[in-house]
Amino acid sequence: MKKLILPALFLGAIAFTSCKKDYTCSCTESGITIEYTMTESKKAAAAAICTGEGVGPITVAGQTQPQTTNNCTLK
């Protein structure tokens, strides 16, 4: 019985962890598309940063996207 409990706990812990992976945010402004990659991110955090929810303006490649910009999508 003890031999079954430890593997079951280990598998249960893995099932409840969130995956971190790379996400790409694509923003289009005046016909110009800029993409940037967020590495080792959780999906909810990457989506919040990409859409500008509560993080303020984002500067990518020298261009600032205001917080109110909603022309960005997470890929």
pLDDT tens digits for the chain (75 residues)? Answer: 556 665 555 555 555 555 788 999 998 878 888 898 998 888 888 888 887 776 666 677 787 766 555 688 888
Confidence (pLDDT) at 28: 84
Residue 2 CB partners (closer than 8 Å, separation 6+): none
Calpha distance 72→75 (Å, rounded): 10
Residue type, 50: C
Calpha distance 60→48 (Å, rounded): 16
User: For residue range 48-61, what is the model confidence (pLDDT) as tens digits?
Assistant: 888 777 666 667 77
Confidence (pLDDT) at 22: 92
Confidence (pLDDT) at 4: 60
